[in-house]
Amino acid sequence: MLKHLFRKKQLEEEIIVVSGLPRSGTSMMMGMLKAGGVEILTDRVRKPDEDNPKGYFEFEPVKQLAKDRSKSWLEDAPGKAVKVISELLKELPSGCRFKLIFLNRDLEEVIASQNKMLVRRGEPPDSVDDDSMRVLFEKHLRKVKQWLQQQGNFEVISVDYQEVLKDSRSHAERIAAFLQRDLEVEKMAAVVDRQLYRNRS
């Protein structure tokens, strides 16, 4: 009986998802949530580096969402936060409820950041030119946001990366209100480091 009640409580509690394009501030947001008192799902397989010195906060099972039919790890996710890139949002099951924090960033900055990250890692640059990449990103984001509007199990808040850098405290308060939690907003705001606002040109 107790096990049933606990399971019922799990199903009633939303999973917090942080999403957006790569290099759009999702790691920063995960760090803010952790500082605020939210338990996060991360395995620390991907280590901090020059591109993300405070860590990536990734969770390896997320990368297998499209292939993993059971998605059993989601049973332990209610009430916690997990990072899911925008491309994989559609793979999240309709039987779960999600509070989604979606990060937006100027696409020119996203592309510049990705290019510099590839150079630092000694990897070949993307074969698609920047203008074409921007068009692809725009199309992708449009499709994702249209899809989200049709999903009854998602509650969504959009957060602008540049605006968080300008006024981290008000955005921390906004996120706490969205999640309906008494988070430590001062600690959340303190995570935001303007010195890491780079790789944008």
Residue 7 phi/psi, 5-degree rounding, is -65, -40
Which helix (H) or strand (E) segment holds residue 179: the answer is helix 168-179
Helix 168-179 / helix 26-36 crossing angle, nearest 10 deg: 70
Residue 18 placed within a domain: yes
Q: Is 184 exposed, middle or buried (0-12, 13-18, 19+ CB in 10 A)?
A: middle
Question: Residue 98 burial (CB < 10 Å; 0-12/13-18/19+)?
Answer: buried
**Could you give the percent of the chain with pLDDT greater than 70?**
80
Q: What is the pLDDT of residue 37?
A: 97
**Strands across the sheet containing 154-160:** 81-83, 15-20, 98-104, 154-160
Q: Which domain holds residue 81?
A: 2-191
Classify residue 199: in a domain, yes or no: no
Return d(Cα 33, Cα 176) in angstroms, integer: 9
Distance CA 125, CA 177 (A): 41
Residue 83 contacts residue 138 (beta carbons within 8 Å) = no
The per-residue pLDDT for 43 is 86
- The structural domain count of the chain equals 1
Does residue 89 lie within any of the structural domains?
A: yes
pLDDT digit string (tens) for 137-188? 999 999 999 999 999 999 999 999 999 999 999 999 999 999 999 999 999 9
Per-residue pLDDT band for 97 (boundaries 50, 70, 90) equals very high
Which domain CATH number covers 86?
Answer: 3.40.50.300
Q: Where are the beta strands (DSSP E) in 39-151?
A: 81-83, 98-104
pLDDT, the chain, mean: 86
- Residue 86 backbone dihedrals phi, psi, to 5 degrees: -60, -30
pTM value? 0.85
Please report whether residue 198 resides in a domain. Answer: no
The answer to whether residue 87 sits within a structural domain is yes
Summarised one tens digit per residue, pLDDT across range 6-21 is 444 444 589 999 999 9
Q: Is the pLDDT of residue 1 over 50?
A: no
200 within a domain of the structure (yes/no)? no
Taking the C-alpha atoms of residue 58 and residue 62, their distance in angstroms, rounded to an integer, is 8
Residue 201 falls inside a structural domain: no
| 173 within a domain of the structure (yes/no) | yes
Q: What is the pLDDT of residue 52?
A: 62
